[in-house]
Structure 1
């Protein structure tokens, strides 16, 4: 009887784990903005102009304790912060104070911290769930860095051109390939 109960619990746990991984990979990390999110950005009409900066690695739904809930996107001029489907903030590259790596890793992905100066966007005044200290907004994210989507590499190139002193930690080779 106890063995049957243990087997049932193992099957339930396996189904939940596999379902969570599939949901996180397919639903949470879309490659393009949805039409609703794209409509929230003024002056952008094509989804290919805005690229994903952050991804959400799967850690049995515990990743929310280590990274920000918002998703980060960027184009040539701005960094966009989406809270779900809503545009929460928009920053210029010149308003970045620091971009540095943390000591946290989730599934072998290094977690990065980006900090923005206060007063960067009129959109961010309405949301109160970001960490704030001394007028600084901070987000932690896993970069969208892979061989097939070199978005983090493009982001770093733009940041080097516009605000080189903000980069406190240089990325490793595999993050910029």
Structure 2
């Protein structure tokens, strides 16, 4: 009886693991903005102009305790924060107070923290899940940094040009490839 129960639990765990990995790879982290999110941004009609800054790693649905629920995107001028399909905030690169790495990792991916000045967003903050520190908006995210998607490297280059003092931690090799 105990062996059958263990085998059933192993099958359930395997299905959850493979399903979670598949869901994360194909549906959870799209490379381009969908039409609903693109329509929320004024003045941008091409999805390729906005690049992904954050990804959501898979940690059996516990990652929400370590990173922000919002997804971060950027273009040459702004950083866009989406809460689901809704544009929650839009910041300029000059409004970043700090970009630094935390000591937490999920699946060997470092978690970064980005802080914006208080009242810096040009939109109304609709999310209540956002942590606040000293009136500043703060988001924790895993950067979209890989060999195949170098958008975090592009983000760092733009940030170095516009607001070099905001970078508190330099990126490592894989994040600059």
What TM-score results when the alignment is normalised by the length of structure 2? 0.97
Query: 1:131-146 counterparts in 2 under 5 A?
Result: 131-146=131-146
Q: How far apart are residue 148 of structure 1 and its match?
A: 1.3
Provide the rounded CA distance (Å) in 1 between the counterparts of 2:109 and 2:133: 26
Q: How far apart are residue 95 of structure 1 and its match?
A: 0.2
CA RMSD of aligned residues (A): 0.9
Q: How far apart are residue 125 of structure 1 and its match?
A: 3.0
Match of 2:103 in 1: 103
Structure 1 84/126 Cα, relative in aligned 2: closer, same or farther at 3 Å? Answer: closer
Provide the rounded CA distance (Å) in 2 between the counterparts of 1:124 and 1:143: 25
Query: 1:1-177 counterparts in 2 under 5 A?
Result: 1-177=1-177
After superposing the two structures, state which structure 1 stretch, 104-113 or 122-131, moved more: 122-131
Runs in 1 of length 4+ with deviation above 6 angstroms? none
Give structure 2 stretches of 5+ with no counterpart.
none
Q: How far apart are residue 54 of structure 1 and its match?
A: 0.3
What TM-score results when the alignment is normalised by the length of structure 1? 0.97
Secondary structure in structure 1 of the residue aligned to 2:10: helix
Provide the rounded CA distance (Å) in 1 between the counterparts of 2:6 and 2:128: 44
- Count of aligned pairs between the two proteins: 177
